[in-house]
Chains A and B, each alone.
Chain A
């Protein structure tokens, strides 16, 4: 290693490594190992970032990355060959870059895929670039680009599970890469490993952390049944929610902005901020670390700002979680006892809609559970 690493001073380089350790929740004593992993690469790892039925929200969220910053990611750590929102090239020049990367960097590049992949009407509901005067559709691109990639990161709930476009699947055929909602069987049929980083949008830490983990270890992090890294999606919102005490105490907000249900520090007169579960909060059935990690340089998060969790990291999102502002039927409010029979009935439902083992544990303790006849 000379004076500089890929254009960074040694000090700046170690800062990047330290930030990477932070995002992965590692102690700073890992900095030398991260430095070794990044220095070990002869060149910056190439990245193709392609988009299907997307809204660019995942890309915009990634711009908010702090540790490392987006400028460090794009210019210092990775070689962003194709990212449609920031790259200089347009048109055929841009398309040629994808083709060259697939051909020349086979097995070496990271494919980040944003958006669902539709297959109805020959895939014409999402296309970019043309070949012989015909549109290149997302369902063609995914096979070609993923098959030659080292790893695929399905960023956002659309890419992971189909997300919001999947609510209109009857018309466009929208699916995720490996999943169609909670069911296996998405748009990508190949064998390249796919890591799901859902969220609408994903927190930049989840995406950047997954990429950095892969760079360090050359393998995907430990994932749950839905392909989500457990280090970010291992617990429910409810597990770590700052309003959990209110839930346990049976204090529920009924009217938005009601000072009698809001803590003095937040402009109200109540003893604490009341739980939002009666307003439809999906925190009890949603897996992510939002309450701890928070958003936008940790300034806030949805429940912290007195809004509900809409369950955006879940494979059921959106259609399977509608209506958003009605109480989740499986959640028992304080004081409602559940019989063993009812728990068994509800467990059947829970498995059918794909809730994780952790939630099943909560059903068993009676904290979360339907009344059996709810569904």
Chain B
């Protein structure tokens, strides 16, 4: 048996380490470890609760809108405000703009290099001027003997796409995507002030009022981005997922726990109401797609037996504690282990799309085979992008028809004891903030973050977290090239820094990767 450690897992957000045991070319067991701690839940104690909306966005520079929204929902809830419709819709537009920037970033810039042999570009023999330019670029890097950051890399395995035409097209889309995703951030900045880290969403709504000019400025960017997303991003994912990458799906690489959970996202009626969201909330157990249960947030708990915390295990987030001990025996992660009804649940695009069961998605799923996998997660992410594009147009219409409506229910800081819960789905999973306040100060703050649902370690009963479970069974014919492990890890779009090394237990030596 070979023990494989990957540290750091790159092309993700944060610091994460993944260890796997490989036997006969297949992963038998896996451990996921977050290797960084700052302590937002501690540093916000005693502070003005309104600060949390700004500060907790910095939990993650990629997922910042998600933490901002969860935080404002929690503080809204504690203050007892009623967010006006325009405030709610502008928040949706800010949030949705980030999703439209985030999903293509994830596919092209974080994940794609696991699926293509970028050096195949050198063999491109076609005449497309745009693709020839890409070829010239890559060839010149090779000639200059400086192909960083595209190399070093894992040796391309049997599943990697090597067709020069397909690869060159993908690389040209990778470069296009770098420009296009900026439009999403510009859209976000138009309503939110800047990206990353929007600045004007406040308790009760937003500070900004809609104007026809701003809707037009937004729409001009949005329609360019929407057209590119539908014709390039979604088209690429569907073409690759039903074509050259289908064998990875057929092998069920990255199956996971088969339990899914979603808090829902994008409020359609009352702000923060999990029962009236564009992407619905719910729970699926054992892949039973006919039985979608209502979400009951009181069933959420967090175990810490294997996490670096000395605080009690199994607590509900509203009364949760975060007291770190990085030298705790048996612990291997700074991530806690969230559980719903005592069981691990996967969150994210696949969870959402399985709950939504939109006919278009079910048709796509039917083409590739209806089971979870790394490829299925990419397909779900692309499909929901398309759904969201349609809904943004609806929100813009609603805003235009009520252009003089109020945007904020601005209430003073309450001095009595209050509690609030703010939960919403994020591009990569389900994210929640719980706040307690008294005398105008935060007395407790707990975050059950999106990637915690997927990347948490074993729970107190020793049951693996969703990513740990999804890696088990992945083919790793060559322990020095654990490409399938990082494919599965990245399909969950991790938002934390990961680390994976490769160790040969017999010698306990870390094998050095060959530099390609």
A residues bordering B, Cβ < 8 Å?
Answer: 4, 6-7, 43-44, 46, 51, 53-61, 63-64, 66, 69-71, 74-75, 79-97, 116, 121, 124-130, 133, 135, 164-165, 167-168, 171-172, 174, 200-201, 255-259, 262, 265-268, 295-297, 299-308, 310, 318-319, 322-326
Given the known inter-chain contacts A130-B5, A262-B209, please indicate yes or no for A53 contacting B36, CB distance below 8 A: yes
Shortest CB-to-CB span from B183 to chain A, Å, is 9
Residues in chain A near residue B198, CB distance under 8 A? 305, 307
B512 near A265: Cβ-Cβ < 8 Å:
no
Given the known inter-chain contacts A257-B208, A257-B410, A302-B200, please indicate yes or no for A307 contacting B403, CB distance below 8 A: no
A80 near B36: Cβ-Cβ < 8 Å:
no
6 A-B pairs with the lowest CB-CB distances in the bound complex, closest first: A57-B61, A7-B140, A307-B200, A267-B209, A305-B193, A307-B199
Tell me the bound Cα distance from A92 to B511 in angstroms.
Answer: 8
Tell me the bound Cα distance from A83 to B289 in angstroms.
Answer: 40
B158 at the binding interface (Cβ < 8 Å): no
B37 near A305: Cβ-Cβ < 8 Å:
no
In residues 170-217 of chain B, which contact A (Cβ within 8 Å)? 175, 178-179, 181-182, 185-186, 188-202, 204-211, 213, 217
Tell me the bound Cα distance from A308 to B48 in angstroms.
Answer: 15
A44 near B513: Cβ-Cβ < 8 Å:
no
| Pick from A79, A125, A307: contact of B148, CB under 8 Å | A79
B499 near A295: Cβ-Cβ < 8 Å:
no
B130 at the binding interface (Cβ < 8 Å): no
Residues in chain A near residue B22, CB distance under 8 A? none
B181 near A63: Cβ-Cβ < 8 Å:
yes
In residues 350-386 of chain B, which contact A (Cβ within 8 Å)? none
Residues in chain B near residue A64, CB distance under 8 A? 182, 185, 195
Tell me the bound Cα distance from A121 to B331 in angstroms.
Answer: 15
Tell me the bound Cα distance from A82 to B151 in angstroms.
Answer: 10
Tell me the bound Cα distance from A168 to B40 in angstroms.
Answer: 8
Given the known inter-chain contacts A56-B13, A125-B326, A168-B39, please indicate yes or no for A300 contacting B178, CB distance below 8 A: no
B7 near A130: Cβ-Cβ < 8 Å:
yes
B150 at the binding interface (Cβ < 8 Å): yes
Chain B residue nearest in CB terms to A65: B182
Residues in chain A near residue B148, CB distance under 8 A? 46, 79-81, 87, 97
Q: Mark B99-142, 1 if CB is under 8 A from A, else 0.
A: 00000010001100100001000000000000000001101110
B15 near A51: Cβ-Cβ < 8 Å:
yes
Tell me the bound Cα distance from A259 to B208 in angstroms.
Answer: 10
Additional A-B contacts beyond A85-B13, A306-B193 (4; CB < 8 A) = A61-B61, A93-B513, A125-B37, A164-B38
Q: Mark B47-77, 1 if CB is under 8 A from A, else 0.
A: 1101100110011111010000000000000
A127 near B35: Cβ-Cβ < 8 Å:
yes
B327 at the binding interface (Cβ < 8 Å): yes
Q: List 30 A-B contacts (CB under 8 A).
A: A7-B137, A7-B140, A44-B146, A55-B60, A55-B61, A56-B13, A57-B58, A61-B196, A84-B11, A85-B110, A87-B149, A89-B151, A90-B154, A92-B511, A93-B513, A94-B152, A96-B152, A125-B36, A126-B15, A129-B7, A133-B510, A135-B7, A256-B407, A267-B403, A295-B194, A299-B189, A299-B190, A305-B193, A307-B200, A318-B43
Tell me the bound Cα distance from A355 to B43 in angstroms.
Answer: 24
Tell me the bound Cα distance from A90 to B103 in angstroms.
Answer: 21
A86 near B204: Cβ-Cβ < 8 Å:
no
Binds A, one of B263-271, B387-395, B500-508: B500-508
Tell me the bound Cα distance from A296 to B98 in angstroms.
Answer: 13
A87 near B48: Cβ-Cβ < 8 Å:
no
Shortest CB-to-CB span from A162 to chain B, Å, is 11
Shortest CB-to-CB span from B208 to chain A, Å, is 4
Residues in chain B near residue A125, CB distance under 8 A? 36-38, 324, 326
Residues in chain B near residue A306, CB distance under 8 A? 193, 200, 206-209
Chain B residue nearest in CB terms to A90: B10
Tell me the bound Cα distance from A267 to B214 in angstroms.
Answer: 10
A305 near B192: Cβ-Cβ < 8 Å:
yes
B residues bordering A, Cβ < 8 Å?
Answer: 5-15, 17, 35-40, 42-43, 47-48, 50-51, 54-55, 58-62, 64, 87, 105, 109-110, 113, 118, 136-137, 139-141, 143-144, 146, 148-154, 175, 178-179, 181-182, 185-186, 188-202, 204-211, 213, 217, 324, 326-327, 403-404, 406-408, 410, 486, 497, 499-503, 508, 510-513, 515
Shortest CB-to-CB span from A59 to chain B, Å, is 7
Shortest CB-to-CB span from B453 to chain A, Å, is 19
A322 near B194: Cβ-Cβ < 8 Å:
no
B510 near A92: Cβ-Cβ < 8 Å:
yes
A90 near B58: Cβ-Cβ < 8 Å:
no
Shortest CB-to-CB span from A345 to chain B, Å, is 26
Residues in chain A near residue B143, CB distance under 8 A? 7
A324 near B15: Cβ-Cβ < 8 Å:
no
Interface centre among A86, A129, A305, A322 (most CB of B within 10 A): A305
| Pick from A58, A80, A92, A172: contact of B512, CB under 8 Å | A92
Residues in chain A near residue B62, CB distance under 8 A? 56-57, 60
A256 near B137: Cβ-Cβ < 8 Å:
no
Shortest CB-to-CB span from B293 to chain A, Å, is 34
B199 near A310: Cβ-Cβ < 8 Å:
yes
B35 near A128: Cβ-Cβ < 8 Å:
yes
B153 near A93: Cβ-Cβ < 8 Å:
yes
Tell me the bound Cα distance from A193 to B122 in angstroms.
Answer: 40
A318 near B55: Cβ-Cβ < 8 Å:
yes
A174 near B511: Cβ-Cβ < 8 Å:
no
Interface centre among B17, B193, B208 (most CB of A within 10 A): B193
| Pick from A7, A70, A85, A168: contact of B141, CB under 8 Å | A7
Tell me the bound Cα distance from A5 to B150 in angstroms.
Answer: 19
Shortest CB-to-CB span from B437 to chain A, Å, is 13
Chain B residue nearest in CB terms to A132: B510
Tell me the bound Cα distance from A256 to B96 in angstroms.
Answer: 22
| Pick from B178, B181, B327: contact of A121, CB under 8 Å | B327
Shortest CB-to-CB span from B443 to chain A, Å, is 15
Chain A residue nearest in CB terms to B59: A55
Tell me the bound Cα distance from A219 to B384 in angstroms.
Answer: 48
B190 near A268: Cβ-Cβ < 8 Å:
no
Residues in chain B near residue A305, CB distance under 8 A? 189-194, 198-200, 207-208
A126 near B35: Cβ-Cβ < 8 Å:
yes
A91 near B179: Cβ-Cβ < 8 Å:
no
Shortest CB-to-CB span from A200 to chain B, Å, is 6
Tell me the bound Cα distance from A84 to B13 in angstroms.
Answer: 8
Residues in chain A near residue B191, CB distance under 8 A? 305
Tell me the bound Cα distance from A6 to B64 in angstroms.
Answer: 36
Residues in chain A near residue B5, CB distance under 8 A? 91, 130
Given the known inter-chain contacts A124-B327, A164-B38, A256-B207, please indicate yes or no for A97 contacting B152, CB distance below 8 A: yes
| Pick from A51, A92, A97: contact of B501, CB under 8 Å | A92
Tell me the bound Cα distance from A301 to B38 in angstroms.
Answer: 28
Chain B residue nearest in CB terms to A297: B186
| Pick from A57, A258, A300: contact of B197, CB under 8 Å | A57
Tell me the bound Cα distance from A69 to B208 in angstroms.
Answer: 30
A201 near B8: Cβ-Cβ < 8 Å:
no
Given the known inter-chain contacts A56-B61, A167-B43, A259-B209, please indicate yes or no for A69 contacting B146, CB distance below 8 A: no
Chain B residue nearest in CB terms to A125: B37
A90 near B486: Cβ-Cβ < 8 Å:
yes
Residues in chain B near residue A90, CB distance under 8 A? 6, 8-11, 154, 486, 500
Residues in chain A near residue B47, CB distance under 8 A? 322-323
Given the known inter-chain contacts A168-B42, A256-B407, please indicate yes or no for A135 contacting B35, CB distance below 8 A: yes
B193 near A304: Cβ-Cβ < 8 Å:
yes
